[in-house]
Structure 1
Amino acid sequence: MKTTVQAKPTAATRLHPAGGRRIQVRRSGVHGKGVFALQPLAAGERIIEYKGEVISWPEALRRHPHDPSDPNHTFYFHIDDRHVIDANVGGNAARWINHACDPNCQADEQDGRVFIEALRDIAPGEELFYDYGLVIDERYTPKLKKEYECRCGSPNCRRTMLAPKRR
């Protein structure tokens, strides 16, 4: 099974402004660990690059699952039909950014690299989220949607991290 996270292109912004650490990984009320703003982050600001080992999809499928007790959880980020970033190897804090159906960030893929950027101004203490928009080739059954359950709590929550199927 191939899982895809969609990236949305946006304008380039600076990655490392002066002023020290801007984000921190800590326990999340949504799921496990999360990433939180330590400083104000401006709309359109590039916050962090999603780092990890770039591997082929066949290699990703060979490595999957990282955790047999939670087989649908990975640190994979789809780049194109041939490549994926495995943040389980050489990953950084970006791998801990949780999904939300009404996110404050988005993923921007540029030339095989993925950057997380703010969609709106983000205050210190806010958790960062982007919409994973997972795409799975098989039919979305209630069981499959439950396996990818969303816990974001947004009023517009889809109840799943899966992207809506195109009709």
Structure 2
Amino acid sequence: MVPRIYVSEQQPPIEVRASQVHGLGVFALRRIKQGTRIIEYLGERISHGDADRRYAGKDANDNHTFLFIVDAKTVIDAGVGGNEARFVNHSCDPNCESVIENRCVYIDALRAIEPGEELTYDYQIQREDDDPPNVDEIFACRCGCVRCRGTMLGPPKPPAPRSRGNPAERRRPAPVPKSAVTQQSAAPKTTFARDASSEQSVRRR
């Protein structure tokens, strides 16, 4: 396990500027060691209900917000009181990861990051049963890496095993309304709101 390295100075060694991946991005000002805790993802802490109401009128094809799901009760909206962390873009071959500890979200370095290199992490946005047919296009990935999977969405869920019980006992669960903030699964330690960087994670920029 890589030992955690904490940035001691108040200003992390990063800057926000134009990105070739998408819009604005976050770049290293100096070499960042593997395991460094670079920055906390800040913003207004609101409930899932408040997040739903805040973005209820958004177009389904508009993936621009800075929502990050912390847990079953709390969402961070970095569009209000956020910092540089909200501009970290997605990559299918990232150099960072997002970590939730004590209900706070951090961006940590997966490997050494060289000066001028853009910081990225894998959003792995969760797919939903009621996604539109063009959902992969809505969340298209533009990271350009060799391992790019073409979308910021996580891989499709494997089909559930067929039950062999009494057919009368196999009832479909009641449909659940789709929330404006949807949980991202992939890395088990991290859940995200839908944020399309190019993000998100969620409808960013």
Q: Where on the TM-score scale, by shorter chain, does this alignment land: which range?
A: 0.7 to 0.9
Identity in percent: 46
CA contact (8 A) 1:99 1:131 kept: yes
Deviations 1:80-129 (A, max 9, x none): 12221100011000000000000000000011100000000000000000
Tell me the equivalent position of 1:121: 112
Q: Which amino acid in 2 is paired with 1:36?
A: F
CA contact (8 A) 1:51 1:92 kept: yes
What SS class does the counterpart of residue 42 from structure 1 fall into? coil
State the alpha-carbon separation in 2 of the partners of residues 15 and 139 from structure 1: 41
Alignment partner, residue 19 of structure 2: 28
Equivalent residue, structure 2, for 1:131: 122
Partner residue in 2 for 1:46: 37
User: Alpha carbons of 1:81 and 1:165: their partners in 2 closer, same or farther (altered >3 Å)?
Assistant: farther
Q: Which residue identity is paired with 1:147?
A: I
Q: CA deviation at 1:150?
A: 0.4
* Counterpart in the other structure of 1:61: 52
The alignment partner of 1:60 has SS state of helix
The match for 2:200 is none
**Pair 1:81 & 2:72 matched:** yes
Structure 2 Cα separation of the partners of residues 113 and 87 of structure 1: 13
State the distance in 2 between where 1:119 and 1:163 align. 19
Aligned equivalents of 2:157, 2:102: Cα separation in 1: 26
2:136 aligned with 1:145, yes or no?
A: yes
1:72 to 63, 86, 104: 63
State the TM-score, normalizing by the size of structure 1.
0.85
TM-align CA RMSD: 2.4
State the Cα distance separating 1:56 from its structure 2 match: 1.0
CA contact (8 A) 2:12 2:39 kept: no
Give unmatched runs, 5+ long, in structure 2.
159-205
Is residue 37 from structure 1 mapped to residue 37 from structure 2 by the alignment?
no
- Whichever residue aligns with residue 96 of structure 2, its letter is C
Cα distance in 1 between the residues matched to 2:42 and 2:11: 19
Query: Bigger radius of gyration, 1 or 2?
Result: 2
Q: 1:65·1:72 contact (CA, 8 Å) conserved in 2?
A: no
For residues 37 and 126 of structure 2, what CA distance do their matches in structure 1 show?
A: 24
C-alpha distance in 2, partners of 1:90/1:117? 21
Q: CA deviation at 1:138?
A: 2.8
Aligned 8 A contact 1:12 1:46 in 2: no
Equivalent residue number for residue 5 of structure 1: none
Question: Structure 1 stretches of 5 or more lacking a match?
Answer: 1-9
Higher fraction of strand: 1
Distance in 2, matches of 1:45 and 1:123, equals 13
Residue 142 (structure 1) shift: 4.9
